[in-house]
Amino acid sequence: MTQRVPPPPSDSPSSLPLPPPDAWTGRILNDEARDSGCLQAWWLDAYGTYRTTLEQRDYPCFFGQTAERRGEMFYAFCEAGDEETLRATMRRFVEVGREAARVRFSLALFFAPDPSLTTHEEFLKRFWHALQTLHDADGAPMAPAHPDDPLWEFSFGGRKMFVVGTSPTYRQRRSRVVGDGMVLLFQPRELFTDPETGEPISAAVRRQIHARMLAYDGMPVHPDIGFYGDPDNREWKQYCLSDDNTPETGVCPFAPRPGSGNG
């Protein structure tokens, strides 16, 4: 049986055939994309930069590269402050992701480039505000409920997702820059398991990714990068890393709703 975890560097995802250039537009989740064949210019620019970045042979994330090349990505676009679009596209992503054929699909959520986003502190604020907005609109329980639990992961509609926050405010950690605006990547927890065995990805694959991060960023892997389920690991610390290697020592900015889970 074929294991669909990302291949080692010797079999880079860049060897996989690219989908047709326009195939991605059929996986845009915004309502307006369904009603019009005319896409906004910034949508096209944002996707083009994102795709070009992931096509680099040395880009460290196998998961992102492989998902893009296999057409296992959904896309959404959001203007600053447009919380209704944020909520609507996440609901649609969770809905379509329940289909067996799409359970491993990820979501790239692009925010319009904003000249006022100039500091990394502002990026962190906007990132956590987006997750809080989604959580506050979600009626499903989150379990475990508290981010300080090593098994906690952001969830919506009962689906757990690892969230990667990227932003042009990163100056050193270039693997976290995939466009001119903020981009949130929602990767379902199923993506990190072998679909045949249900076992987590191997330690060897994780070491390969970390080695590629070291080479790509030109700096050591951030000390908060860990492995899901490890008693000392906290997933939320990995979502939007500092631009240097200063470990996170504060509390998670995310606030679970009272009664939103059993943890």
The domain total for the chain is: 1
Q: Give me the pLDDT at residue 4, please.
A: 40
User: Percent of the chain having pLDDT more than 90?
Assistant: 72
| Cα(14)–Cα(99) distance, integer angstroms | 27
Give the number of residues written for the chain: 263
* Domain contains 185: yes
* Domain contains 147: yes
**What's the domain range around 222?**
27-239
Q: Which of 3-17, 74-88, 198-212: highest mean pLDDT?
A: 74-88
| Cα(188)–Cα(128) distance, integer angstroms | 18
Q: Give me the pLDDT at residue 198, please.
A: 76
Q: What is the mean predicted confidence (pLDDT) over 143-163? A: 96
Is-contact 102 96, C-beta < 8 A? yes
| Cα(233)–Cα(161) distance, integer angstroms | 16
User: Percent of the chain having pLDDT more than 70?
Assistant: 89
* Domain contains 251: no
* Domain contains 2: no
Residue 13 in this model has a pLDDT that exceeds 50 = no
Q: Which two tokens stand for residue 178?
A: 């995939």
Using one digit for the tens of pLDDT, what is the confidence trace for 226-247? Answer: 889 899 999 999 999 999 999 9
Confidence of residue 199 (pLDDT cuts 50, 70, 90): confident
Cα first-last separation, the chain: 37
* Domain contains 211: yes
Q: Indicate the average pLDDT of the chain.
A: 88
Buried b (16+ CB within 10 A) or exposed e, 58-71: ebbbbbbbbbbbbe
Confidence of residue 38 (pLDDT cuts 50, 70, 90): confident
Q: Give me the pLDDT at residue 111, please.
A: 98
* Domain contains 98: yes
Pairing of strands 155-156, 159-166: antiparallel
* Domain contains 256: no
* Domain contains 254: no
Q: What is the mean predicted confidence (pLDDT) over 103-116? A: 96
Q: What is the mean predicted confidence (pLDDT) over 127-139? A: 97
3-class DSSP state of 43: helix
Q: Give me the pLDDT at residue 20, please.
A: 60
